[in-house]
Amino acid sequence: MRVAIYIRVSTTEQAEEGFSIEGQKRRLLAYVESQDWTIAGIYIDEGISAKDMNRPKLQQMLTDMEQDLFDCVLVYKLDRLTRSASDCDGLLKRFEAHKVVFQSATESFETRTATGRLFIRLISELAQWERELISERTRAGMEQMVVEGKKPGGRYPYGYDKNGQIVEEEAEVIRHIRRLYMQENMSLRQIALALPPRRGFLWTPGRVADVLENIFYAGVIRYGTKLPNGKFALPRKRDLLVECLESAGTHTPIWTREEYDEHVRLLRSRSEGGWSRNQTYWFTGLLKCGRCGAAMFGKMNKGNSPGAGTPTYLCHRKHHNRSCDMPMFSQRHIEHLIFDHIDSIVLDSALTDEEQKANRKKSDYKEKEVIRIKRDLEAVRERIKKWQYMFVNDLLGADDLRERLNEEAEKQKELNKALSLLGPNKGQNDVTKQQLLHMRDIWPTLDDGEKQEALRILFESITVHTPLTRPKGVRNRFFESSVEVVYR
């Protein structure tokens, strides 16, 4: 029997044993082997809730089902597929229409009999009830904490320790940031360069802006979600635009509320007057249109749509002469596709490792040279960070910094040229796999500039493909699409 494996984790479940991607994958592969089935495809939706059907890999699986690519859908548990009773009923009907069997690896039911189908529908009703009950309880608990002046979960921001007590040295840095912005009239970038490292990390303009915009420093607890129009709404109540909850916190403030309102007004006025913070487009110079081959450039999405205020990418030919009908891609969409691609590489390498070993014909010399050059490139990048750190701490003058950076740039150019002479690597050798895994692990800790640099280290180009021309709906960033990459 040809089987399609479907795996899903939501953000809150990724760390839970048994529900992680690796945990589900390991158990499902063992189940397939025990049944002597053939894997027709593996579909993984990472960090996406099962509250609806707007999941890219689920939609791809349903499309493949219509093309008769498999005979059975296998999941770890029913709630990995859906937590909605109505969606469950619709999926079962679609499976039946295409003569596809549904099977859970940990629950004793199937869709071959009327009793099995009834039991599945009852289980899905309970899963939906559980999801809604947990959501209501969580929101009520968070709101009550805010009413009592307590922080509703999460880490305390820079300036406070893990118990919510002020760290005076860090609090003085926060006050200094406000003085530089209000009294010295410095830009966010100038402030970032003037500050010492923060807990081992260099400041960035984005981090400076986050500090100035954080109302927690003004002694206020806020629970809600910031919308593109600048308003705030409680989670899961965006359509109603219910004002978020605010209350005086029990923590010691670093600014007064009047000071906070004053510098936030200045931030807003500068943003509207062309002083908006510099947004780094992570994929600029890498992204290509899969329809016409032209480069895709970054621009800020404007308007009142749910995606307003976020970076997007547009085909150059579409922008200049409308000769291409490739739709826009949000930066978050491209990010999702890249990490989905990385997961597929890791999975494929695990399933076909023996085949890859048999077909690997790359010379040892070339592999060693690639490793050596990339190690030298990493050393250059570390030295660049050291020169910048010395400049920020007045240990190096501007002229000396410029001279050293020019030297490092020449070394980078020579190393990249030597690497290119070894030939483009369009496969995934062991070094590239380890780099991809490393990038996936450290990605959440990187700022915009570091993310852009990490992508350029690994990729020569990224080509996006989609059969759609005008995708509709709120979730356009997750419409049907894929990427094709060329590694450095």
In the annotation, is 10 catalytic? yes
Distance CA 298, CA 333 (A): 13
* Helical spans, DSSP H, in 148-253: 168-182, 188-194, 205-213
Q: Which two tokens stand for residue 209?
A: 């802006």
Q: What 8-state DSSP symbol labels residue 284?
A: T
Distance CA 301, CA 308 (A): 5
Nearest to 252 by CA among 175, 365, 185: 175
Task: Please report, as a single letter, which amino acid is at residue 205.
Answer: P
Distance CA 415, CA 349 (A): 29
Phi, psi of 397 (to 5 degrees): -75, 165
Which secondary-structure segment (H or E) carries 3?
strand 2-9
Q: What is the DSSP string of 329-345?
A: EEHHHHHHHHHHHHHHH
Q: Sheet containing 311-315: which strands, arranged edge to edge?
A: 296-300, 311-315, 329-330
What would you report as the CA-atom Rg of the chain, rounded to the nearest whole angstrom? 26
Which secondary-structure segment (H or E) carries 46?
strand 38-46
Q: Which two tokens stand for residue 124?
A: 């899905």
Q: What is the DSSP string of 411-479?
A: HHHHHHHHHHHT--B-S--HHHHHHHHHHHHHGGG--HHHHHHHHHHHEEEEEEE-S-SS--STTGGGS
Catalytic hit among 10, 84, 330, 481: 10
Q: What 8-state DSSP symbol labels residue 150?
A: -
Q: Are 195 and 177 in contact (CB under 8 A)?
A: yes
Q: Could you list the active site residues? A: 10
